Amino acid sequence: MPGWSCLVTGAEGFLGQKIISMLVQEKGLEELRVLDKAFKPETREELSKLQTKTKVTVLQGDILDAQCLKRACQGISVVIHTAAVIDVSGVIPRQTILDVNVKGTQNLLEACVQASVPAFIFTSSIDVAGPNSYKEIILDGHEEEHHESTWPDPYPSSKKMAEKAVLAANGCTLKNGGMLHTCALRPMYIYGERSSFLYNIIIGSLKNNSILQAIGKFSIVNPVYVDNVAWAHVLAARGLRDPKKSPSIQGQFYYISDDTPHQSYDDLNSTLSKEWGLHLPTWSLPLPLLYWLAFLLETVSFLLRPVYSYRPPFNRHLVTMSNSMFTFSYKKAQRDLGYEPRVSWEEAKQKTSEWIGTVVKQYKETLSSKTQ
């Protein structure tokens, strides 16, 4: 393929960094622009050390700044949009989530039109599909089944609106007279080294006598390793640039999973961390009781809102999402994108467990230095 250039948003993020490390190995990629609102010093150092012939340009800017996005998109061939606010527990204000996830995506689509960027790949979420009830059972679901979340919570509703905007933009006329082609990827729950969610569970466990946080005992899900999700984005970028493959990809969404065994979230966390002495509690509340307790806590939060800001430790959406039988096939991505997981379950398990080991070691060393 001829020389091309790419912009990745959310470049500081867990997934964004993996996509970047794979993209710089792609043939013909002349420039890679990486955009985020803020970069940690260690991330900037890692980016500067990338062994690549590709020019890597670090851009610090806000996804809500239309002028910043327009400048970032100038001369770009492909945009990979991973930037998002992820929050399923109600910590972040609703408007903040809607602004970043919906308005930010719309801003970026408009910037692509103005800068005549022909390809746009959106990182969506399995939350767009549901589950809507813990009683709902979807095993090996696929794209033709049209599953759609009905939750009013800001994260699933914002990702659903953003994905619809991206897919609706497919076929839009660009400023130079060309055409914008889009697609969306819906990863399952993503795990792996540097997962902030997994990190918080591990640190929380270490602070509470090594008992893992139990949130998903009753679920059957198919988590996906971060490298495999990143690989699917690279393949989507190749596909939208390939005149032979592009027509079948345009305007489509894809579930992205891998060969990680179907299991509960709790079993996954336990398997990844048991080598380091972390274990799950031996009991939990029955699921219906847990759901209605969440409803009660949400009601208390709502009633107290005029006088006191109370954030429940969990809500009905989190209970449902964490305790449903909800798995999806990657066959459509395999057919259209040529997607095959690059990393096996055994390798993913080993790499993630080794990273957890370093987190445990660093925590204990920090604790030890404080007590001396």
pLDDT, residue 184, reads 98
Checking if the pLDDT of 145 tops 70, the result is yes
Q: Position 30: which residue type?
A: E
Q: Going by CATH, does the domain composed of 4-195+222-260+327-343 fall within 3.40.50.300?
A: no
Pairing of strands 4-9, 325-328: unpaired
Q: Confidence band (pLDDT; 50, 70, 90) for 1?
A: low
Q: What's the pLDDT tens digit per position in 46-82?
A: 888 887 889 999 999 999 999 999 999 999 999 999 9
CB burial of 176-202 (b: ≥16 within 10 Å; e: otherwise) equals eeeebbbbbbbbbbbbbbebeebeebb
d(CA 93, CA 289): 27
pLDDT above 70 (res 2): no
Which amino acid is residue 120, in one-letter code? F
Per annotation, catalytic residue among 18, 103, 159, 349:
159
- Evaluate if residue 365 carries a pLDDT over 70: yes
Query: What is the predicted pLDDT for the residue at 51?
Result: 78
How large is the angle between the packed helices 265-273 and 345-371, nearest 10 degrees?
70
Q: What CA–CA distances, in Å, run from 54 to 5, 22, 38? A: 9, 12, 22
**How confident is the model over 174-232, as pLDDT tens digits?**
999 999 999 999 999 999 999 999 999 999 898 887 788 878 899 999 999 999 999 99
pTM, whole model, 2 decimals? 0.95
In angstroms, the CA 137 to CA 219 distance is 10
pLDDT category of residue 285 using cuts at 50, 70 and 90 = confident
Give the pairing of strands 119-123 and 55-60.
unpaired
Residue 210, Ramachandran bin (φ over 0: left; ψ between -120 and 50: alpha; else beta): left
Q: In the block, which residue shows the tokens 């050390």?
A: 49
The ranges assigned to domains in the chain are 4-195+222-260+327-343
Cβ(127)–Cβ(149) below 8 Å: yes
pLDDT in tens, 23-46: 999 999 999 999 999 999 999 988
- CA-closest candidate to residue 224, choices 18, 9, 8, 11: 18
Q: Is 66 left (phi over 0), alpha (psi -120 to 50) or beta?
A: alpha
Dihedral of CA atoms 101, 107, 109, 113 in degrees, nearest 10, equals 180
On whether the CB atoms of residues 140 and 329 are closer than 8 A, the answer is yes
Question: Which residue shows structure tokens 């080991």?
Answer: 357
The reported pLDDT for the residue numbered 109 is 98
How far apart are the C-alpha atoms of 103 and 105, rounded to whole Å?
Answer: 5
Q: Quickly tell me which residue has 């420039």 as its tokens.
A: 31
Half-sphere exposure of 66 (CA within 13 A, CB side): 8
The answer to whether 159 is a known catalytic residue is yes
What's the CA gap between 309 and 91, in Å, rounded? 11
pLDDT band at 369 (very low <50, low <70, confident <90, very high): confident
Neighbouring-strand partners of residue 35: 9, 59
Q: How far apart are CA 281 and CA 266, in angstroms?
A: 10
